[in-house]
Structure 1
Amino acid sequence: MFDHVVFGVRDYDKSREFYLKVLEPIGVAVVSEGELGIELSSDGKSSLCIRRKLEKNPAHLHLAFVAENRAQVQSFHRTALEIGAQDNGGPGLRPNYSDQYYAAYVIDPDGHNIEMVCHEDMS
């Protein structure tokens, strides 16, 4: 899990809606919102900070969020596609990472690779 991640977006409102919807299954909600942008968290220990347009073309990044179970990974992927995200790898095991690595990937409104991963042991 990360402590915090901060990045700028081109369309703040679209990105705000995207992250609130796709991260709802793991309890992510608004911690604060102001002139700079929004801070989201599910546990008060780590946060995702989305900043209003900071530059013409924000740098691409990869974010991986921890899910407690595989159903949350599936919900994340389904919801993201329903609201227009691009599929970048459907829910499934990724044995090249580990025997328990169950993940899904989408591309967000700014082209960032967003992952939801569960390390739940199903054996």
Structure 2
Amino acid sequence: MFGRIGYRVRDLPTARRFDEAAAAALGLQVIDNSETSFLVIRSTEARLPFVWIGTEQPAFWSARHQVSASPIHVAFAAKSRAEVDAFHKAVLAAGGTDNGKPGPRGPAAAHCYTAFAPDPDGNNIEAGVREAPAA
């Protein structure tokens, strides 16, 4: 499990509109972090783990870093198929494009239900729920 991850974007307001739509559909929140970044968190009471999204280069990144070379893949855990469906609908309404309609995926497809949409910078954003195998 990660404590935090982060990546850079070109246009903060455009990225924020997309990420606010995705977060709301999954019961997450978007909060300000600085003038050039925001965070996606579970809630104001549970701020870890978080996803940092911003336009500046963090001070701890050195010149050797390949800064946010797109596309990256970020997968958010959904609580249900309904949340996955809501995520997909919300990000498309926020200007996103379909990169995988909600449905079963992967080798354990019967137990994983996901949807994908590229964000405005081309990063592949996923919402998915793992389900118990049918008895």
- TM-score under structure 2 length normalisation: 0.80
Q: How does 1:71-86 map to 2 (within 5 A)?
A: 71-86=82-97
SS at 2:74 equivalent:
strand
Comparing 111-120 and 45-54, the one that deviates more: 45-54
Partner of 1:37: 37
Q: What is the CA-CA distance between 1:69 and the residue it aligns to?
A: 0.4
CA-based RMSD? 2.3
SS at 2:110 equivalent:
coil
- The size of the alignment, in residue pairs, is 123
Larger Rg: 2
Partner of 2:115: 104
1:82-115 Cα distance to aligned partner (Å, 9 max, x none): 1211110000011424431100001110000110
Q: Distance in 2 between matches of 1:36 and 1:81?
A: 25
Matched, 1:94 2:97: no
Partner of 1:3: 3
Partner of 2:60: none
* CA gap 1:57/1:115 in 2 versus in 1, 3 angstroms: closer
Q: 1:49 aligns with which of 48, 52, 60?
A: 52
Structure 2: give runs of 5+ residues left out of the alignment: 58-65
One-letter identity of the residue aligned with 1:4: R
Percent of matched pairs sharing the same residue: 31
One-letter identity of the residue aligned with 1:14: T
Q: Distance in 2 between matches of 1:103 and 1:25?
A: 14
- TM-score under structure 1 length normalisation: 0.87
